[in-house]
Amino acid sequence: MGIVVQKYGGSSVSDASAIKRVARRIVEAKKAGNDVVVAVSAMGDSTDELLDLASQVSPLPPARELDMLLTSGERISMALVAMAISDLGYSARSFTGSQAGVITDSVHGKAKIIDVTPGRISDALGEGHIVIVAGFQGVSADTKEITTLGRGGTDTTAVALAAALDADVCEIYTDVDGVFTADPRIVPAARKLDRVTYEEMLELAACGAKILHLRCVEYARNHDIPIHVRSSFSQLDGTWVTGSIDDLPEPGTQESSMEQAIIAGVAHDRSEAKVTVVGVPDKVGEAARIFEALSAAQINLDMIVQNVSAAATNLTDISFTLPRSDGQTAMAALAGLQSAVGFDSLLYDDHIGKVSLIGAGMRSHPGVTAKFFSGLAQAGVNIGMISTSEIRISVVVSEEDVDAAVAATHTAFDLDADEVEAVVYGGSGR
Ligand code: ADP
Ligand code: ASP
Ligand code: MG
């Protein structure tokens, strides 16, 4: 008998009838002769609603209390899913992340899973129960506090459970039929990918394609767990996230040009902001002081650009992007440095967006950047910043240009499907 690990996202358990539908699907997997373990997200947009509520009570809630609040969302859905299963005549046991043995570091709000000790899950399976685990949460080994894994973290719970239980695959059920060449909410002509490598999926997730949590893809790659992303609203086969770009046919061979698409997809991200430090003295060590202060404040930067210094003044500007949620912390950390470094001023812009083109084939196909930029130019989109990796090109544009930039890029690379196949079954896209 195999172990099946499934994950249902918030849009798949948004109300009572959705929960009953999901319960029927879970029971099908059990009836097929499997041991079934399910990670569930909070219902619908309830995590956002809890965050809104917290901000009405306090503009900067203590991180520990925020985690206590947010983990309640998954606790509600896990118990309701278990009840709906028992109503179908099957027995289910729900467990919080802590009860399920999800052990994390102690960073509230973006904790990392460091171990999974699934003793209680194995016992419950052994007794014939279906196991439902609250996603997105764990318990810190050091502090014994309850932690959360960051937005979208239930995907990571599911993959970590699949790895700990030695499952063959982790099924991620959501409100679209798989991973598409762009967010189908923005590009209705997006195409479903049958398969995507871990590396390409990592770049897509890191660049804002929230269909999968970044850590979940890292975890799956490290533990060699294939992920099957599919819809809980249809029976269609979804997208398999598996394999490495290193195993693709050798670039330049006939096999590679026949089988391998150059581009996996276009991702966008509206969650970043841009900070510019204006008038930094152009001498050794100044950039280091700025970035040390940001690192001490635990801020992860994305793109960094330093202008050539103006000859007359010997001053330069340094710009970087970072999560909007860290914007105020970063500005405070830099303001404290102004007299020591001697820069002129700080600028903060949160009306930006990032658009990224991702594909293993760009390693061997020249001209991808030129095509990307001319597509943007034809759509009248101005480029603010640029960064690249081996299989990705990203640009920062103004926030209102994001949709147009994604659509233009999708068309420029001939990704548009002839007939619209993308269906968005539910969810608010929030
Ligand atoms: P869940 O509630 O199931 O976790 P999410 O809202 O987190 O679902 O993720 C699913 C959403 O991800 C889709 O509804 C879609 O709008 C968005 N999305 C962004 N990029 C992509 C992509 N490349 N392929 C598919 N969906 C994407
Ligand atoms: N409920 C959490 C969120 O909305 C975790 C998840 O859905 O994966 O981010
Ligand atoms: Mg999600």
Domain boundaries, the chain: 3-175, 249-419
**Element holding 49 (H helix, E strand):** helix 46-57
Ligand 1 atom closest to 9 (CA): 3
CATH 3.40.1160.10 given to domain 3-175? yes
At 352-398, the pLDDT tens digits run 999 999 999 998 888 999 999 999 999 999 999 999 999 999 999 99
Rounded CA-CA distance 113/128 in Å is 27
| Percent of the residues in the chain that have a pLDDT greater than 90, as a whole number | 87
Query: Binning pLDDT at 50, 70 and 90, where does residue 259 land?
Result: very low
Name the residue at shortest CA distance from atom 9 of ligand 2.
Answer: 151
Rounded CA-CA distance 161/167 in Å is 8
Ligand 2 test: best mutation among 136, 212, 215, most atoms within 8 Å of CB?
136
Rounded CA-CA distance 51/107 in Å is 18
On the question of pLDDT at 258 being above 70, the answer is: no
Residues flanking ligand 2, CB < 6 Å: 9-10, 41-42, 47, 73, 135-136, 151-154
Query: Binning pLDDT at 50, 70 and 90, where does residue 312 land?
Result: confident
Rounded CA-CA distance 20/232 in Å is 12
Name the residue at shortest CA distance from atom 8 of ligand 2.
Answer: 152
Query: Binning pLDDT at 50, 70 and 90, where does residue 1 land?
Result: low
The average confidence (pLDDT) of the chain is 94
At 199-241, the pLDDT tens digits run 999 999 999 999 999 999 999 999 999 999 999 999 999 999 9
Taking residues 144-172, what's their average pLDDT?
97
Ligand with an atom nearest the CA of residue 50: 2
| pLDDT score at 351 | 97
What is the DSSP track for 255-281? HHHHH--S--EEEEE-SEEEEEEEEEE
User: Is 174 touching ligand 1 by the criterion CB < 6 Å?
Assistant: yes
For residue 274, the CA-to-ligand 2 centroid distance in Å is: 26
Sheet-wide strand order for 352-358: 265-269, 352-358, 392-398, 385-389
Ligand 1 atom closest to 8 (CA): 3
Q: pTM of the prediction?
A: 0.93
For residue 9, the CA-to-ligand 3 centroid distance in Å is: 6
Please list, in sequence order, all residues whose beta carbon lies within 8 angstroms of the beta carbon of residue 408, skipping any fewer than 6 positions away. 375, 376, 378, 379, 381
For residue 212, the CA-to-ligand 3 centroid distance in Å is: 6
| pLDDT score at 365 | 85
| pLDDT score at 430 | 74
Buried b / exposed e over 278-303, threshold 16 CB at 10 Å, is ebbebeeebbeebeebbeeeebebbb
User: Is 11 touching ligand 1 by the criterion CB < 6 Å?
Assistant: yes
Ligand 2 atom closest to 149 (CA): 5
CATH number of 249-419: 3.30.2130.10
